[in-house]
Amino acid sequence: MSETFPRYRESPLRLPEYFFLEMPDRCYRVRVPWIAIQAVIDIIDSPQGNRQHEISWNYIPGPMMKRSMSTGGAERLIAIAREEGWIE
């Protein structure tokens, strides 16, 4: 049994990561390209104020990562995602 898979611009080792940010008004699904994943994680781990918004990622292939972000950090991440066209 053989299957033909479509060719993607990105190699299988460099797939994008989906981040799910839960805000009071809605849940944002952010598709981050592989080259910017570490930058987004650095924003999440940066020193922030009161962390009250949940963000999760890394569903496949490993266990889900879940952290909290402050309102300012979450708004900054959403602004970057809108500018780059990452919000789905």
Please check whether residue 7 lies inside any domain of the structure.
no
Task: Return the pLDDT at 6.
Answer: 54
Please check whether residue 43 lies inside any domain of the structure.
yes
Please check whether residue 1 lies inside any domain of the structure.
no
Instruction: Convert the chain into a string of H (helix), E (strand) and C (coil).
Output: CCCCCCCCCCCHHHCCEEEEEECCCCEEEEEECHHHHHHHHHHHHCCCCCEEEEEEECCCCCCCEEEEEEHHHHHHHHHHHHHHCCEC
Task: Return the pLDDT at 37.
Answer: 92
Domain membership of residue 25 as a residue range: 16-58+66-84
Task: Return the pLDDT at 14.
Answer: 76
Task: Return the pLDDT at 13.
Answer: 67
What is the Cα 4 distance to its own chain's centre? 29
Please check whether residue 6 lies inside any domain of the structure.
no
Please check whether residue 28 lies inside any domain of the structure.
yes
Task: Return the pLDDT at 67.
Answer: 93
Please check whether residue 9 lies inside any domain of the structure.
no
Please give the chain's pLDDT, 88 residues, in tens: 455 555 555 555 678 899 999 999 999 999 999 999 999 999 999 988 899 999 999 877 666 889 999 999 999 999 999 999 999 8
Task: Return the pLDDT at 38.
Answer: 92
Please check whether residue 78 lies inside any domain of the structure.
yes
Task: Return the pLDDT at 31.
Answer: 95
Query: Distance (Å, rounded) from C-alpha 26 to C-alpha 24?
Result: 6
Number of domains into which the chain is organized: 1
